[in-house]
Amino acid sequence: MGKQLPKYKEIERDILNQIQSGALKIGDQIETENELCERYKVSRMTARKALDLLSSQGYINRMPGRGTFVSSIQISKNANFTRSFSDDMRSIGKAPGSILVSYSIHRAAEIPEAARELGLGDDELVHSIIRIRTADDTIMALSYTYLPVSLFPNFDLRMLEGSLYNYISQHYDIDPTDGSRTISAVLPTPQQKKWLKIDDIPLLKISHPGHLTDGRRFEYSETYYIGSHFIYRYERSE
């Protein structure tokens, strides 16, 4: 027999399943602590712990005097304009954050998809960066960024403390009007689940190259957003 879940985890999982299935939608009110206590036959402390966990992960928003509601971060994106994750978060009043998971250098042949997108030969070198992206300290996404070493021979890891995109734009003329990107829904790998602290919930994968004004590709990135509390909406300018 499997180990029985603690009651607070059972409550957390049940509410999360309702959010992920659509039974609870953005803006819907969650049962109160008292109602959860009655439903699950638990103490108020246990019910509060479950709600605190969901709140810390960004799934719900606890509003004193009003109740607890399903939350989501909604971003409006112009389909013809490339904007960094950090700028996206600032546009809705959130503080962007970044946690470096790994940094390494690879031969292009070892990462064929990125090499193809960057137009690199097999023996050219590529910076490979994996970061957890946060908004107000809530984990939002996992990003994989690839940069040609030929363009960035003296890579400084301090570049990753803020917006990498903004740093690059200070040193190169970036073309922000290339909005080409690929969007797909995928399930997380076991490693991604550990990094994002999630179960088997869909991720929104957005991949795109970045261009300089002279046409060269300076970046290829893949960002995996936690789909259960992130809505990516495109608005095409007239």
- Residues 6+ away with beta carbon under 8 Å from 14: none
Residues of the chain with pLDDT under 70: 1-3, 20, 22, 72-82, 161-162, 176-179, 228-238
- Tell me what pLDDT residue 1 has: 45
Q: Specify the residue for token string 């409006």.
A: 76
DSSP 8-state symbol, 32: P
Give the three-state DSSP class for 98: strand
Query: What is the pTM (predicted TM-score) of this model?
Result: 0.70
Backbone angles phi, psi at 33, to 5 degrees: -60, -40
CA distances from 57 to 5, 61, 62, 173 (A): 19, 10, 12, 37
Report yes or no: 68 and 61 within 8 Å, Cβ to Cβ.
Answer: yes
The residue type found at 170 is: Q
How much is the pLDDT for 143?
94
Q: What is the mean pLDDT of the chain?
A: 84
Cα separations in angstroms, 5 against 34, 35, 63, 199, 236: 21, 20, 28, 15, 46
Dump pLDDT digits (tens) for 145-161: 999 999 888 877 777 76
As a whole number of angstroms, the distance between CA 30 and CA 86 comes to: 30
Alpha-carbon span 62 to 54, nearest angstrom: 10
Give the span between the Cα atoms of 33 and 39, in whole angstroms.
Answer: 10
CB atoms within 10 A of CB 45: 10
Q: What is the pLDDT of residues 67-117, one digit of tens each?
A: 898 876 666 666 556 677 887 787 777 788 889 999 999 999 999 999 999
